[in-house]
Structure 1
Amino acid sequence: MIAGAFDIGGTSIKYGVLNEQGDILYQSKISTKADQGGQVVIEQVIELVKALQKEYELDGIAISTAGQINKEEGSVIHATDSLPGYTGLNIKEELEIAFYLPVLVDNDVNCAAVGEYWRGAAKNVDHFLCMTLGTGIGGAIIMNGQVYHGHAYSAGEFGHMTLYPGGEPCLCGDEGCYEQYASSRALEQRAVKELKQDISLPELFIKAHNKEAAPEAVIERWVLDVALGIKSLVHIFNPPLIVIGGGISEQGDDLLDKLKGSVDARIMTSFKRNLEVKFAQNGNDANLQGAVYQLKSLVWEQNN
């Protein structure tokens, strides 16, 4: 099987061609043009598929996308303002009509989790949680090697656990949500506020690595907030593994060790047995791979 795979975010559409082993045969990206509306986003995907078909004989189309997704319908239940006009679109239907090919659509974090399960940090682990720390915090729940989508296909919104009641206002309409304190955006905002200077996350981590006290303190406080959320997830789900993705996962073992230590200090002893916390291995490739893995399952079901 050869699949066209797309990862649709608010800033860019990453796309490529993958074989059924998950090897990436071709990869590129373009601007999402999200400000022009959701329909323009889908039209861009259609044009990209047409371009790929000139070079490859595609057997299906796999879509990883931001937003809450009804996987069975391939429709967008809800999307934030980063993708205006996206809510309500039926991506699967539009692409199937355009190309008469099988189409799989799922949420991007679900796809990332499946990609890590297939070829990454969670390989051969049938039960685990995946969370991405980025502009917000996304989550995915893997049970018996399958994504748990929830009653209305919206499970895994880890970013909207309440961490501090009455705290910072959140885009969801509540206050004190996890993502307002533990996302990478929250870390950057905290650093700017407390250090009283514009500073990027790479610069912050370099300063902390060089043992500058104030940057170290900012990161330590953020690590605590990340760990507090993980504590709740561990005590609810009792997973053997938590995989953490997003750009923050590129910071390496020093940060991971801090996070593991903070989590370990806060969970009950009985939950510590066999619990692993890992950074994701495959970056954005996992989104494409996870979408293709699920497309393979869909095609198999249709043919059997």
Structure 2
Amino acid sequence: MRIVAVDVGGTNTKMCICDKQGNVHDFKEYATESYLGGPHVISRTLEKIAEYDHFDAIAISTAGQVNAEEGFIVYANENIPRYTGMKIKDIVTHHFHKPVMVENDVNSAALGEAYYGAAQSFNNFLCLTFGTGIGGAIVINRQIYKGANGVAAEFGHIFTHPLSATSGVEGLPYYEKHASTTALVKMAQLADPECTDGKALFDKIQSGNEQLERILDLWITEVAVGLASITHIFNPSAIIIGGGVMEQEDLVRRVEERTKSLLMESFAGVRIVKASLGNKAGLLGASSLFVH
């Protein structure tokens, strides 16, 4: 079975052919041009899919809250304007007359890690990605738990601070306002305006900047507080954490140690593991919808 797998992100879209064994062929990546809006994003996706020959199905992983059963976008933020409400499954099915499945990007990444990556040995685990915000997925008995409306695991919007303690953060003090990569960079910029991204921050830390190291340590605590909270709720075997920032050497170990220091003893067996599939996780997870 040849499956066209698509991973629509706010910045870039990835696409490939996957087979039942999880092998990736004919990989390509292009700018999403999300600022032009949802209709443009999907129109361009159709054009790129049409460049492939001889495929049997189409699996789409996408940013935004997704009703996977009906294949439409329940809600998307301003990163992709006019994306909310788009009936992706209907549009793509009508265009290609092939079976189509649509899933949220972090749910797809979690499935990818479950079947092909870091979570292969875990039946019950959580998955979080740290980037512009914080995305989440809940896997119970190797199935995605979606909640009453299909949009469970918005971990980025749990509250880890009292409402009065916004500490300069715009809007409500959600977890992602304090523990996303965006939050880390903003914290660093207050101390050093040259820290315009994560790379600049970690380069300066490696050069011995003690003030930025202290800021990183505070951020690790922010991450750990959220992970400890959801561990006490779900009692998972593992938490898989991903996002570019987590590729930094020794960072996942520090997050795990800090998290375990906050846990009740009966929860301390949880493993915190770095995602292993990188930018292929969403593609492989989406394709698994037709395989598993």
TM-score by shorter chain over 0.5: yes
Q: CA deviation at 1:170?
A: 7.4
Residue equivalent to 1:259: 255
The answer to whether structure 1 residue 111 and structure 2 residue 98 are counterparts is no
Q: In the alignment, residue 277 of structure 2 is paired with which amino acid?
A: N
SS at match of 2:289: helix
Q: In structure 1, what is the equivalent of residue 88 of structure 2?
A: 91
SS in 2 for 1:284: helix
Partner residue, 1:286 = 281
How does 1:190-269 map onto structure 2 within 5 Å?
190-252=187-249, 254-269=250-265
% identity of equivalent residues: 39
Deviation for aligned residue 1:295: 2.4
Query: In the TM superposition, what whole-angstrom CA distance separates every residue of 1:148-172 from its partner, at most 9, and x where no partner exists?
Result: 111101101000011112244878x
1:45-79, Cα deviation, whole Å (9 max, x unpaired): 111111112xxx10100100000000000000000
Question: How far apart are the structure 2 equivalents of 1:123 and 1:73?
Answer: 28
Aligned pairs for 1:17-36 within 5 A: 17-36=17-36
Q: Deviations over 1:103-129 (max 9, x none)?
A: 110000000000001111101311000
Q: Which residues of 2 match residues 68-83 of structure 1 at below 5 A?
A: 68-83=65-80
Q: Secondary structure at the match of 1:110?
A: helix
State the alpha-carbon separation in 2 of the partners of residues 181 and 140 from structure 1. Answer: 19
Q: Could you tell me whether the CA contact under 8 Å between 1:103 and 1:295 is conserved in 2?
A: no
Structure 1 equivalent of residue 271 of structure 2: 276
Query: What code does the residue aligned with 1:163 have?
Result: T
CA gap of 1:108–1:181, structure 2 versus 1, over 3 A, is same
Question: How many residues align structurally?
Answer: 290
Amino acid at match of 2:36: Q
TM-aligned CA deviation for residue 231 of structure 1: 0.8
- Preserved CA contact (<8 Å) 2:126 2:240: yes
Q: For structure 2, list consecutive stretches of 5 or more residues without a partner in the other structure.
A: none
* C-alpha contact 1:126 1:145 (8 A) present in aligned 2: yes
Q: How does 1:24-63 map to 2 (within 5 A)?
A: 24-53=24-53, 57-63=54-60
- Segments of 4+ in structure 1 off by > 4 A? none
Q: What is the rounded CA distance, in whole Å, between the counterparts of 2:290 and 2:101 in structure 1? A: 5
State the match for 1:159 in structure 2. Answer: 156
For 1:130 and 1:281, how far apart are their aligned partners in 2? 12
Q: Secondary structure at the match of 1:186?
A: helix
